Amino acid sequence: MSGKRSNGEGSIYPYRNGFAAYVWVTTPEGKRTRKYAYGPTRTAVHEKWIKLHSEAAKGPVATAVPTLGQYLAYWLREVVQPELKPKTTETYAMHVRLYITPGLGAKRLDKLTVRDVRKWINDLMVQCQCCAQGRDAKRPERHRDPRQRQHCCAVGRCCQRVPSRRTVQDARTVLRSALTHAMTEEMIAKNVAGLVKVRSVRRKKPQPWSVDEARTFLDAARAAGDPLYPAYVLTLVLGLRRGEVLGLTWASVDLDAGELTVEHSLQRIQRRLVHDETKTEASTALLPLPDICVAALRLRRETQASARKAAGELWDESGFVFTTRNGTPIDPRNFNREFAARTDRAGVRRIRLHDTRHTCGSILAALDVHPRIAMQILRHSKIAVTMEVYTHVPSEATRKALRKLGRQLDGPR
């Protein structure tokens, strides 16, 4: 044998103060080119050369590897935005902008290690985000409202506003998803974010209203002539989500047949209101309307007709069931504020707006409605989600079983 290398095997040669090597590889774009490796000694370069050969034998190899920040920008633009819902895209972009890029964006994609990700997570858990993002520094130095002017990190009093464990876990999930796609595109060999274990977050159990609290709230809203009273009825009786209520159109309501089709959702995304399809395929459903819902929607139609007449030429015919005094859709954040204010005026315990949906599920559970029926009403995509609600509310059968067990363990007196 001559000892010469075959075509495509590359070469090792002296280079500057050390050595260099190259191997012919096929890029993900299908182009045949050289990939180089450098090192201080021939032995070190030979190991890299062997590794390059191994990678080239397995499949395409990227020759120009971007930084993590550059790849995440590409991933959000070319993968996430075309494939996922606008709200999900906005959430992913927020985690990338605020948490991932500042900590890891300068790292080269193929050089990112498990240790890098672990250190990033540990640092993120104790890092004040007001300092990191300059939140207090963006406020004016002088303002008549003390809460609106610089008052903490910018003036040397760190507020220690660290992200919650759930936020850290979500940021790591976004990073893992991006690196999974990088593996699919054969830019990296392994997902280092998936190798870092993060303690799972214990979800807080919602504390929904009781039947009496829900009735008190609705009675107060109806007595006050609140124009959003019908919206509150739909959230409590049918368990509609905020976006589903605000995205409801009259074309989806049939009061004569007593039916309502949930098929759209209204959300604020990147400073504009977006009327889009519902959260999941299971969320789109035709629901029968109980009498209280039919009466509330008839009242809403009358109220809206009066508002249309009062607005005159200023009225914007949007087709939504719930609108402002000029016919435009209601901003979800304003709906939250109105709900909180109405809760306080009704004198009931304040809960999150989304907890009205949990209230609906809890009442169904307390009435011993079969979980499959409750799943259809709440439009959960999985029965496990419904059962999670049911396990929070002890049924009468559960109470009887525990009383029976207690009597057996108590023994004769």
- What is the average per-residue pLDDT within 194-202? 81
Arithmetic mean of pLDDT, 46-55: 86
Q: Binning pLDDT at 50, 70 and 90, where does residue 391 land?
A: low
Bigger pLDDT: 2 vs 390? 390
Residue 331 has pLDDT above 90, yes or no: yes
Residue 343 has pLDDT above 90, yes or no: yes
Tell me the pairing of strands 259-262 and 285-288. Answer: antiparallel
CB 254 within 8 A of CB 348: no
Helix, strand, or coil (residue 27): coil
Report in angstroms the alpha-carbon separations of 351 from 88, 168, 326, 340, 344.
Answer: 25, 25, 29, 8, 10
Q: Work out the pLDDT band at 329, boundaries 50, 70, 90.
A: very high
- Res. 5 pLDDT band, cuts 50 70 90: low
Q: Which residue in 350, 332, 354, 349 sits closest to 340, CA to CA?
A: 350
Domain 68-127+162-195: top CATH class: mainly alpha
pLDDT averaged over the chain? 84
What's the CA gap between 9 and 2, in Å, rounded?
15
Residue 408: pLDDT band (50, 70, 90) is low
Provide the edge-to-edge strand list for the sheet that holds 285-288: 253-254, 259-262, 285-288
Q: 62 pLDDT exceeds 80?
A: no
Q: What percent of the chain is predicted at pLDDT more than 70?
A: 88
Low-confidence winner among 53-57, 107-111, 345-349 (lowest mean pLDDT): 53-57
The answer on pLDDT for 3 being more than 50 is: no
pLDDT value at 238 more than 90: no
pLDDT digits (tens, 9 = 90+) for 67-97: 999 999 999 999 999 988 888 999 999 999 9
Average pLDDT over residues 337-341: 94
Which sequence spans correspond to the domains of the chain?
11-58, 68-127+162-195, 211-353
Whether 237 shows a pLDDT value over 70: the answer reads yes
* Fold agreement (68-127+162-195, 211-353): no
Asked if the model's pLDDT at residue 314 lies above 80, the reply is: yes
The more confident residue out of 261 and 4 is 261
Between CA 377 and CA 292 the distance in angstroms is 16
By CB neighbour count within 10 A (0-12 exposed, 13-18 middle, 19+ buried), where does 1 fall? exposed
**What predicted TM-score, i.e. pTM, was given to this entire model?**
0.71
* Residue 254 φ/ψ, nearest 5 degrees: -125, 95
pLDDT band at 98 (very low <50, low <70, confident <90, very high): very high
Q: In the prediction, which pLDDT does 80 show?
A: 93
pLDDT given at position 149: 85
- CA 267 to CA 100: how far, in whole Å? 25
Q: pLDDT value at position 280? A: 73
pLDDT value, residue 336: 94
| pLDDT-derived band at 130, boundaries 50, 70, 90 | confident
Q: Please choose, from the candidates 168, 154, 83, 87, the residue with its C-alpha nearest in 3D space to the C-alpha of residue 124.
A: 168
Answer yes or no: is pLDDT of 283 > 80: no
**pLDDT band at 406, cuts 50/70/90?**
low
DSSP code per residue over 240-256: --HHHHHT-BGGGEETT
Q: Specify the pairing of strand 32-39 against strand 18-26.
A: antiparallel
Q: What is the mean pLDDT of residues 292-301?
A: 91
- The architecture of the domain spanning 211-353 is Orthogonal Bundle (1.10)
320: which DSSP letter? B
pLDDT for residue 349: 92
- pLDDT-based confidence at residue 409 (cuts at 50, 70, 90): low
Residue 158 and residue 128 in contact, taking contact as beta carbons nearer than 8 Å: yes
Q: Residue 393: is its pLDDT beyond 80?
A: no
Does the structure show a pLDDT above 50 at 2?
Answer: no
**What are the beta bridge partners of residue 276?**
265
Helix (H) or strand (E) holding 303: helix 291-311
> What residues contact residue 245 under an 8 Å CB cut-off, 6+ apart?
231, 234, 235, 322, 335
Q: Tell me, what's the pLDDT at 405? A: 52
Candidates 77, 30, 279, 86; CA nearest to 178 is 77
- Statement: residue 320 has pLDDT above 90: yes
Contact 211, 365 (CB under 8 A): no
pLDDT recorded at residue 399: 57
Whose CA is closest to 113, among 200, 14, 193, 27? 193
135 within 8 A of 129, measured Cβ to Cβ: yes
